[in-house]
Amino acid sequence: MSDSNRAILVVSIGERTFRNRTLNTMRSYADRIGADLLIEREISIPFTLQLKCKLMRFKRKKIECYLQKMLSLYKALEKFDRVLLLDDSCLVSHTAPDIFEQVPRNQIGAFPESERADFRSYNYDKKFILKKKKININEYYNTGVLLVSKHQREIFSPRNLSKNLELFKSKYPDQAYFSYISAIEKTNVNKLHDEWNFMPVFDYSNDSNRQLTELPNDHLRLVRQKHIIHVTGYYKKRDKIIEQINLALYNDQNVRNSLRPR
């Protein structure tokens, strides 16, 4: 029986060939820790925000997807006290402990991507935010895994999104927005260890790795030690990588039986 005060939220828009595999791991996790699972396929964007997007002539297609991701938190936190937002390309291990017990209610749980020197997004967005907002950020967070409480809901409001819409012109729109607003509002962020948002990219300097259809065994052994594995769009064959990781995490028959497709 779920605890109606907390939920796991997934925004999955468009055709995602890997969706069933990842959602099954999240559903199993939600059942195990007693949380509701919310799956959003589309979130309504307020008309004024849609109009502003059109007037700003965003070059990147489907910018609305990133806005919907932020707005989904605003919507979910109207009903729930605490919400864990997961990208739909995340897999949750069957041994993952209850993340709600790891992060105090007065903090937002997020992985500090700025501590990964090999990731390119932080350096890009640090310069981007400085150019757009004249502010130098020191902390930069990945939004693939976010644990948020009701009193932090306003961060994701249409009003705040509209005021800072130019940040969605970044290559990493929602991360630029969240990292900026966390800095200016001095948001109390609990820096999650990478075991809660592990992105299995092991050498950004070698672009040929983007073509991989499976991870080497030594990398896979490391993946098995993590709680949440976040397979980003870095991989061209992301569905193949997710399939491999899913099998590695749930290779025991009894464990596989816990993944109840719906």
Considering the domain boundaries, does residue 262 fall inside one? no
> What was the pLDDT predicted at 2?
53
User: 157-191, pLDDT tens digit by residue?
Assistant: 999 999 999 999 999 999 999 999 999 999 999 99
Considering the domain boundaries, does residue 70 fall inside one? yes
Considering the domain boundaries, does residue 261 fall inside one? no
| Boundaries of domain holding 88 | 3-256
CATH of the domain at 137: 3.90.550.10
Residue 209 confidence class, pLDDT cut points 50, 70, 90:
confident
Strands (E), the chain: 3-11, 35-40, 82-87, 90-92, 108-112, 141-149, 189-191, 228-230
Global pTM? 0.92
> What was the pLDDT predicted at 63?
84
Say how far apart CA 209 and CA 5 lie, in whole Å: 41
Number of compact structural domains in the chain: 1
User: 34-47, pLDDT tens digit by residue?
Assistant: 999 999 998 999 99
User: 223-262, pLDDT tens digit by residue?
Assistant: 999 999 999 988 889 999 999 999 999 985 445 555 655 5
Give the strand pairing for 189-191 and 108-112: parallel
User: 82-127, pLDDT tens digit by residue?
Assistant: 999 999 999 999 999 999 999 999 999 999 999 987 788 999 999 9
> What was the pLDDT predicted at 38?
97
| Angle at the Cα of 12 from the Cα atoms of 11 and 16, rounded to 5 degrees | 160
CB 245 within 8 A of CB 91: yes
